[in-house]
Amino acid sequence: MFKNKVIRYSTIAMVIAILAYFVAENFTGLSAGSSAEDLIAASPEKYKTKIQQERAAKDEQFKTTEDSPIADKASFHGLHYFEPDLTFRIKANISPYMKEDKEVIVKYTDGTSEKYEKYGYANFTVGGKPQKLLLLKNESVISVLFRDATSGKETYGGGRYLDYPLSEIKNNVIVLDFNKAYNPYCVYQSSYACPVPPAENTLTVPIQAGELTESAVHE
């Protein structure tokens, strides 16, 4: 989600590795044909533990690695989040984008831009209210750039992101886990250039899941 794509892909790889380890450690004994949804339904508390483990791993990455956006690592005390909430792990049906104008220019916070592809629309409901988000494809990654009713209040006003490998889409269905919604690196350091969510990707409901801002916690 940044000009340095290596950072983006390494973050995705880290999350996938944590997920694979967590499933192996905590869900053994269930049938081999169980889906991810079955596993989580069987043990929601273990799912919440997994989210906390992922967050702790990200804190460690931010505190110790060279590609961290945190300038003052010595005083870094960790990121802030809403509590994990399974109601914000939502299965969405995808309407593939079929028009010819698939190419879209996404603006970045530094005034530059980059070409993405309109992959399709994710259709889902939050609190009984229909919502949809445009999914953007860049190489083999599906990007979900969005704002919601918490933006500029509890969460970053410029919006938050979700990233998924293209392989996560099965039969035009994707699971949007807003517990993993994260702030772009430009929140922590202005030298990073981050994509601006499309205007149409402004949800009408509050997504009280995922990463908060520092100011929301210490007001």
Residue spans of the domains in the chain: they are: 5-217
Classify strands 129-138 and 113-126 as parallel, antiparallel or unpaired.
antiparallel
Stretch 189-201: mean pLDDT: 94
User: Helices 5-26 and 44-64 sit at what angle, rounded to 10 degrees?
Assistant: 140
What residue type is assigned to position 91 of the chain? K
| Candidate from 29-43, 93-107, 116-130, 169-183 with smallest mean pLDDT | 29-43
Backbone angles phi, psi at 9, to 5 degrees: -70, -35
Backbone angles phi, psi at 112, to 5 degrees: -85, -175
Task: Judge whether residue 54 has pLDDT over 60.
Answer: yes
How far apart (Å, rounded) are the C-alpha atoms in residues 217 and 153?
11
How far apart (Å, rounded) are the C-alpha atoms in residues 40 and 57?
20
Cross-strand partners of 81:
211
Please report the pLDDT score of residue 6 as a whole number: 35
How far apart (Å, rounded) are the C-alpha atoms in residues 12 and 17?
9
Stretch 167-176: mean pLDDT: 96
Please report the pLDDT score of residue 3 as a whole number: 53
State whether residue 130 is helix, strand or coil: strand
Name the nearest CA neighbour of 159 among 201, 131, 190, 130: 201
Please provide the average confidence, as pLDDT, over all residues in the chain.
86
Please report the pLDDT score of residue 219 as a whole number: 55
Backbone angles phi, psi at 176, to 5 degrees: -90, 110
Task: Judge whether residue 124 has pLDDT over 90.
Answer: yes
Stretch 141-153: mean pLDDT: 97
Please report the pLDDT score of residue 35 as a whole number: 61
Task: Judge whether residue 1 has pLDDT over 50.
Answer: no
Please report the pLDDT score of residue 78 as a whole number: 96
How far apart (Å, rounded) are the C-alpha atoms in residues 116 and 128?
31
Task: Judge whether residue 24 has pLDDT over 90.
Answer: no
pTM: 0.84
